[in-house]
Amino acid sequence: MNDRPLVSIIIPTYNREKLISKAIDSVLNQTYDKWELIVVDDKSTDNTKKIVMDYSKKDDRIKYLLNNGKKGPAAARNLGINNCNGNFIAFLDSDDEWFNNHIEESIYFLEKEDVNVCFSLWIEKDLNGNQHKYLSSSEDLVRINNAKKAMNLDITNERIIFPAPDFFEYTNIYDLYCFHTNTMVVKKDVVKKVGMFNESLLASEDYEYAMRIFHEHSFCLIRNYHFIYNQGQDNIHNFIDRRALEIEQLFNKNIANKITFCGIYKCEMIKSIKKLVKNSTKILNKDRFIQFSNEKLAMKYYTLAVLNKNQNSLKSIIFLIKSMYYKYSSRKIKCLLHFIFPFMFKDLKFTKDELWLY
């Protein structure tokens, strides 16, 4: 295997002393052994460093880097990128794990197909151990079939080739989410051209980065499951199953604050993608793209306004005004009056169906 390409694996971490061993073990268990693992510690205050250093003493392919301050996952990944030696780069979060065929199969398809980026499917695991195979339902298969017709996709039982920039435009309009940063294996040359992760985004930075890749590069989606996405209370996004929440639970202060944190950066991510489109020479129907982006921003800001109505009325008012900037409605006027003057429209009801929680 000495003639195979070196794969640099980057794990950003923060206070993961109880979880990071599982992630590192999943790298050690890979059937593909020509790799280096760079663990970037975002200034942990627990025993994360000791655990990683113990691994590195046993296997010199494992390296430990320390951020000079808590900067977030984007900065941690960037530090890893700047210190990697591989021909390909892969990413794994410190609370998740790969199946042992992930790198082997990813490199196989990258060498076989005319692409420089590949992803694979994943399994979502909740706090109770329940598992959900992503993109496996009959509804998902219909969505893939619709995408095939729209983009004339090259599909086999093993993989799907998504073209650029067609997929970039399609997924931003129809939300075909079939990629995850923790299954991405990308040629280092692509990273050099696309640039680094956006460090101003403390959430949704991985989605924004993927979009910049999709704008320029076709990719291969391996139709096999390579990754377990663990739900955890300290997870920035996957801290709870949003599908199982009742409307009353959304007004819980802790849940509302966490979804709000993610939502603010999701809005910034959408704005960043809008800016990319405005400057693009590849996207033909910019007006339609920007219209859908504005509708997403309106929906997300409205959601944040509703979630915060019991916690911070001023914050809700600001979110609602931002929502109306992107899309006006009479209902939002009623909400605004209710947030300012609670005695008005006291019978105003909110439902989960009108909110965008993801």
**Helix 286-307 crosses helix 313-326 at what angle (to 10 degrees)?**
160
Would 1 be classed as within a structural domain?
A: no
Decide if 171 contacts 291 (C-beta within 8 A). Answer: no
Domain boundary pick from 230, 252, 271:
230
- The CA-atom distances, in angstroms, between 89 and each of 84, 158, 241 are 8, 22, 30
Would 344 be classed as within a structural domain?
A: yes
Please tell me whether residues 141 and 209 are part of one structural domain: yes
Pairwise CA distance, residues 165 & 89, whole Å: 22
Structure tokens at 113: 């197909």
Please tell me whether residues 194 and 336 are part of one structural domain: no
Would 102 be classed as within a structural domain?
A: yes
Decide if 12 contacts 40 (C-beta within 8 A). Answer: yes
- Long-range Cβ contacts of 172-176 (<8 Å, 24+ apart): 172/211, 172/273, 172/289, 172/292, 172/293, 173/288, 173/289, 173/292, 174/143, 174/146, 174/147, 176/143, 176/144, 176/147
Please tell me whether residues 30 and 126 are part of one structural domain: yes
pLDDT at 195: 96
The β-bridge partners of 185 are 90, 118
User: For the chain, what is the domain count?
Assistant: 2
Structure tokens at 122: 């994943």
pLDDT at 56: 97
Structure tokens at 247: 């409307």
pLDDT at 29: 98
CA angle 46, 47, 51 (to 5 degrees): 150
Would 62 be classed as within a structural domain?
A: yes
Decide if 30 contacts 1 (C-beta within 8 A). Answer: no
Please tell me whether residues 350 and 263 are part of one structural domain: yes
Please tell me whether residues 248 and 205 are part of one structural domain: no
- 3-state SS class at 275: helix
Would 342 be classed as within a structural domain?
A: yes
pLDDT at 243: 79
Please tell me whether residues 210 and 307 are part of one structural domain: no
The β-bridge partners of 161 are 154, 220
- 3-state SS class at 186: strand
Please tell me whether residues 199 and 310 are part of one structural domain: no
Please tell me whether residues 280 and 349 are part of one structural domain: yes
pLDDT at 126: 87
Domain boundary pick from 203, 230, 257:
230
- In terms of residue numbers, what domain contains 111? 7-230
Please tell me whether residues 85 and 115 are part of one structural domain: yes
Please tell me whether residues 298 and 166 are part of one structural domain: no
Predicted TM-score of the model (pTM): 0.94
pLDDT at 107: 98
Please tell me whether residues 134 and 177 are part of one structural domain: yes
Alpha-carbon torsion angle 192, 227, 124, 165, nearest 10: 30
pLDDT at 316: 95
Structure tokens at 52: 């990683």
pLDDT at 346: 85
Domain of 45, CATH number, reads 3.90.550.10
Please tell me whether residues 203 and 250 are part of one structural domain: no
pLDDT at 277: 97
From first to last of its 358 residues, what are the pLDDT tens digits of the chain? 568 999 999 999 999 999 999 999 999 999 999 999 999 999 999 999 999 999 999 999 999 999 888 899 999 999 999 999 999 999 999 999 999 999 999 999 999 999 999 999 999 998 888 999 999 999 999 999 999 999 999 999 999 999 999 999 999 999 999 999 999 999 999 999 999 999 999 999 999 999 999 999 999 999 999 999 998 777 778 787 887 889 999 999 999 999 999 999 999 999 999 999 999 999 988 999 999 999 999 999 999 999 999 888 899 999 999 999 999 999 999 999 999 998 899 889 999 999 999 8
Would 237 be classed as within a structural domain?
A: no
Would 236 be classed as within a structural domain?
A: no
Would 44 be classed as within a structural domain?
A: yes
Domain boundary pick from 230, 263, 279:
230
